[in-house]
Every structure is written in structure tokens, then in C-alpha cells.
Amino acid sequence: MTSQKFSTLPALRRQHLLAEFTGLKQACPDGVYVGLTPGDPSLWSGVIFVRDGPYAPAVMRFQISFPDSYPKLPPLVTFSTDMFHPLITPLSTYMYSTDIQDNGTVSATDEERLPPGGFSLRHGFPDWFGRRGRRAAEKKQSGGDPAARQTPHRPPPPSDLSSGGTVSSRNSAMAQSPGFFDTKVKEVSIFAVLHYIRSTFDDEDVLDTIPLEAAGNPGAWRAWRTHRVEKGKEFESPSTLSDAAAAAASTTGEGLMRKPGEWNWEGVWEERVKKGISASLSEPALYGGNSAADDVIRFLNVGDDDLNAIKENLLRTVHHPS
């Protein structure tokens, strides 16, 4: 039965989302799988199998909620898998602001905020965010009517990576600062969003370029920076660290010196991420079916014999198509 959400969805937007989803069947980032929520093409469920990098071999479940004005306004990405990650708001946190100012975080009532498990897209697609730009865009769209604004996590309309181009052309846009992707074209494709999200799990260089103001979890950001400095990483702009840590950042790989009373981040990233990866691979997490996303993308707990039989059937299908 078609839901009310589907029936009231603007036809053009519905066609746009369905076209993007169809395109992902032909070219989706490696290790990323998405599915449509029945009756609601504006809500997608996804899974990332992290195969390389600092978060391998985690299995991460997430959902993407698209606003009415997507792709002019950003989607809201939320993870149901808890992971200690610089861009993911902890599931135990009620609400994080996505706008961290030089003089501290903004108030909890700020319109730009992430829910528990929310993934910050501010680093990858900065032109989607910003108070002045968002409010100007909303005023222009609504004719000055504040009631016409979108949902809370829906800042300004701008432009970013287009839906066109090849995979190699998208990859060449990586590692730019302050934004991961070039933001001078008109639209952002969902391929670009998924590609960026995956890269923040399997690419150390991408994690290194994230500024504190873009972090969804400032503690995880500091822990990652400490971990990298301990491994010998030298950051070109140590001022992006916390004030206390920046002044004492080691250039010899021996870690960060701390002032009395400061939080000790040494070893925190390794411990928390190791626990998160282990939890993501546990049977309750993989086969528990405790969320709506599990109903869209399900995992089967099969033994080795069943798995080998499935592989043999697939091989027969490939070599002897009907």
C-alpha cells in the first residue's frame, strides 16, 4: 500500500530521487549499498562495508532523509551503528550543533544541528552550510516568511559536485581544503555524498583534512589528531588543534604534551574505535533487526555449507544464463 508520504511527494522530486537511486544500481561506491524505504523514496537505508583504512572491517548502517528542496539543500545522514568518528554525533548525545565558532559552540537552540548519530557533511560540502547564506536563501525562497523554512538540518542552497562526470573526475576533487569537493557547479549527486562518506572511514588523508568546526564529535576529532601525531603525522596548520594541544604538538611523532588538568587523548581513538568495530560485527548488530533500516537491508546468518551452495548457484547462473 502506498504511503501518504509517497502520494504527497512532488512528482519532479520523486522522479529525481528514483533516477538517482537507479543510477546507483549501475555505479555505487565500492562497499556501499542502499535501499528505498517502501512507499517513501525520500528515505533511504544504507550499509557501508569498510574494507580498508582505519575503520576496517566495520559494518556501518545508516539512513538518508532527503528534504523537499534536495539537491539545493542537503540530505540528513544518520548512523544507527555507534562509532567513535570525528563526523558522527554520538548516539548518546541529545543534539550537537553543526556550527562551532571560534569562541565556542553556539547554543543548543541553533537551527543547524545534528541528531544522535548524525553525520556532518559540513567538511565535504561546505557551501550547503553557513548561517548567513542559509538565512538569505530561505528568505529569498519564502519571500521573507519564516514559516516556509525547511526542517532543522537544512541550511543554504548552493552548488557542489554535479551529478555528471566520471568516477575518476570525482576522485580528483578529493582532499581539497576547506571543502572535500569543489563547490562551484550547480548540483550535488548522491553518488558524491556516498563517496565522501565512505572515504571518511577508509582514507586517513580525508580524516586529516577535517577542521574542528566541521566535526560532529569534537572529542573524536581531538583523539584522531592525537593518534596521528603519535604516529608521526605533521600537520601544516597545527592551530586547528585545540589551543592547548596546538602549542605543544610534537613534530617528532612522540605525541602531544599536555598542561596540568587537560584531557589525555593518548590511546583513546584506538580503544574506542576497536570497541566500535567489534560491536558493529556482533551478531545482535548484524542480525538483530532492531531498526527500520534492518527491514530494508537484511543480513542472513548462514553457515559455511549454505554459503558455498549460494556461491555455486551464482557461478552456475553466470556461466550458464537462462
Q: How many domains would you assign to the chain?
A: 1
- The tens digit of pLDDT for each residue in 13-29 reads 888 899 999 999 888 99
> Is residue 183 in some structural domain?
no
Q: What three-state secondary structure class fits 267?
A: coil
Lowest mean pLDDT of 85-99, 122-136, 160-174, 296-310, name the range. Answer: 160-174
Q: Give the domain extent around 235.
A: 217-267
Q: Say how far apart CA 137 and CA 122 lie, in whole Å.
A: 17
Note every long-range contact of 243-248, with CB atoms under 8 Å and residues 24 or more positions apart, other chains counting: none
pTM of the entire predicted model: 0.71
Question: Picking from 101-105, 126-130, 155-159, 305-309, which range would have the lowest pLDDT averaged per residue?
Answer: 155-159
Is 95 domain-assigned? no
What pLDDT, on the 0 to 100 scale, is given for residue 318? 78
* Strand ranges (E), 216-260: none
Residue 251 falls inside a structural domain? yes
Let me know: does 117 contact 65? Beta carbons within 8 Å.
no
CA atoms of 114 and 166, how far apart (whole Å): 31
pLDDT tens digits for range 229-242: 999 998 875 444 44
Is residue 308 assigned to a domain?
no
Determine the Cα–Cα distance for residues 235 and 20; give it in Å rounded to an integer. Answer: 37
Residue 12 has pLDDT above 90, yes or no: no
* Local structure of 205: helix, strand or coil: helix
Task: Look at residue 298 and tell me if it is in a domain.
Answer: no
In-domain check, residue 250: yes
